Amino acid sequence: MFFRRQSAEGTQWVTVIQDGSTVHAAQVVYTADGRPRVDWMWQHDAQGMDSALRTLQGAKRLKGCALVGVLDRAHYRMLATDTPDVAREDWRDAMRWHLKEQVDFPVEDAVLDVLEVPQATSRSSSAVMTFLVPRLDYSTVELAADDLGLNWTALDVPETALRNVCALAEDGEKAHALMVFGDSHGMLVITFKGELLMARHIEVTVSAVTGDEEVRGAALSRASLEILRTVDTFERMHSQVQLSGMTVALPPGCGAGALEMLAELIYVPLQPLGLSAWFDLELLGGDAVPFSEGITFSELCVLGAALRAHPALLDRPQLQLLDPNSVLGQSPTWGAVLGVRLAGGVLALGTAAGIGLHAGAGGYNLQAGQIEQEINTLRITAAANPPSPIVKELESLRQKDAQQRQVQDALQGSMAWASQGYSDYLMALGRQTHPSVWITGLNVHGDGRDIILSGRTDNVAAMPAYLQRLGLEERFKGRRFAQMEMSALAGQDTVAGVVQFTLKGVRKDEGDTTTREAALRAVGKIPPESNKEAPKK
């Protein structure tokens, strides 16, 4: 915990990309000599970014390095649209609203960043490129670093990582293109003055380009056709910019004649990629030899992502794709000395607090013993003194008063039912509506003592609360339903879980006798049922 959240020095950059089941990483260091130095290139088979970072942390020194992740094609979306007609600082919010129908995930919580296409290069209206990362994919990558005590300096995408490489090959005031072949697809990017003007996926894989002669020829012909279409589209959209040439990063094993085959079909001047012109590869030793024969898509992406700190590209906008509101990665940087001091302080405070709590606990225990003795004394005294007859008489009077109030409510309710119409029943039911109860029938006979209420419910547990609220209404006050029937609905069109119920009040003839007897019994005019004499035969 004492080495968590190490700060980046700004000169050492570690970039990581996951391409299928393989993770590639590189460390690039910027020195005063000019060219950035590549200290190491690393690859490992891993099922996810979390296991890859854990293995990388065990194999390489990541302390003090700026960590940049390059997202795979499946973990982000890139959409090109017209520039929103709002202020620059409001572009992100405007693009969320504009693109919500164009993606298959919620844009409200997605991580989003926007790059502007230079307006002077296009005859049409200005355009922007919007990059979106779904929240689920972003959280997975963010937690992979946070679980190891690391934090991302930025999250990048292959389009802008390859743009950084292509920008270094530009010739003055002319645009330049870069073509790279990958395991699942290729990519063509075109830049002008370090800005990304166009990016296109070319559906030609490394396995096709490095296959036998027949397969390789067909793959290169298909790639040439797609490249020509992209170049034609670029010249129509950006007629004011001239394309000076194209750099081709061929993968290892494609053969020496691959570039010549592409040059025969593409009218733009082609040249092979030469990394030694932009990177110092001396520390790689023998590992730098394959780069002279070819480089893979993922390897070039990790090198290009590290070029975001290149002096020639510092004034160019770079993607961040980080959530500024995330609580991860915001804890302060700790060191070993600070950690030991904090541990000592916490230990001292804990010791002092333990001594104080022990002393306080002894005092509280003493007070608790005294209070318990006083309670026992009071209990003995209370047991020796029986309750006063006045207290018993008062309790009896309270019970009689409660019975008389209950009889009075019943009599008032009965008189109200007899003197008023039936519309108040409907008004009372309308005021006491419940979302899970539907009243389908109401039968009222005579003065209202004989009542049948029927309905349906999808929540049987809600019935007691509904009846309790209904009993507060004047029409139903003091009324008790003597019978309740429930049954499941039958039929094909019924909804599962809906139950039909019927509530029946006391019958009229029984209600008169019951109400009178209850009233007389409550005021003591007749004895309880248990004291009645049996009728004579």
- Domain containing 504: what range? 403-528
- Determine contact, residues 427/473, Cβ cutoff 8 Å: no
- Determine contact, residues 83/174, Cβ cutoff 8 Å: no
- Determine contact, residues 452/442, Cβ cutoff 8 Å: yes
In this prediction, residue 335 carries a pLDDT of 46
Specify the 3-state DSSP secondary structure of 126. coil
391 within domain boundaries: no
Average pLDDT per run of 10 along the chain, which is 537 residues long? 45 90 92 85 88 91 90 91 87 88 90 84 73 94 90 94 94 92 92 92 90 89 93 89 92 83 90 88 74 82 93 88 73 49 73 78 82 83 73 83 79 57 79 86 75 87 85 77 78 73 66 46 46 42
Do 185 and 42 share a structural domain?
yes
Do 426 and 304 share a structural domain?
no
Q: What CATH number has the domain bearing residue 191?
A: 3.30.420.380
372 within domain boundaries: no
The residue among 335, 371, 301 whose CA lies nearest residue 158 is 301
- Identify the domain boundary among 315, 334, 353: 334
361 within domain boundaries: no
- Determine contact, residues 472/460, Cβ cutoff 8 Å: no
Do 228 and 131 share a structural domain?
yes
Do 426 and 283 share a structural domain?
no
Do 212 and 128 share a structural domain?
yes
- Identify the domain boundary among 334, 366, 391: 334
Helix-helix angle 135-146:49-59, to 10 degrees: 20
- Give the neighbor-by-neighbor strand order of the sheet with 152-156: 37-45, 22-29, 12-19, 66-70, 152-156
Split into its structural domains, the chain has a count of 2
374 within domain boundaries: no
288 within domain boundaries: yes
Do 142 and 58 share a structural domain?
yes
368 within domain boundaries: no
Do 142 and 226 share a structural domain?
yes
In this prediction, residue 8 carries a pLDDT of 43
In this prediction, residue 123 carries a pLDDT of 56
The residue among 307, 324, 330, 316 whose CA lies nearest residue 92 is 324
In this prediction, residue 526 carries a pLDDT of 47
* Contact residues for 123 (Cβ-Cβ < 8 A; gap 6+): 237, 238, 239, 240
Angstrom CA distances, 430 to 426, 437, 454, 464, 475, stand at 6, 12, 15, 18, 12
Q: Which two tokens stand for residue 344?
A: 């000592």
What are the φ and ψ backbone dihedral angles of 508, each rounded to 5 degrees?
Answer: -60, -50
- CB burial of 391-409 (b: ≥16 within 10 Å; e: otherwise) equals eeeeeeeeeeeebeeebee
The DSSP call for residue 88 is G
Do 209 and 130 share a structural domain?
yes
Do 221 and 120 share a structural domain?
yes
What is the distance in angstroms between the CA of the first residue and the CA of the last residue of the chain? 95
Do 507 and 420 share a structural domain?
yes
498 within domain boundaries: yes
Do 424 and 296 share a structural domain?
no
- Identify the domain boundary among 302, 319, 334: 334
147 within domain boundaries: yes
Do 177 and 38 share a structural domain?
yes
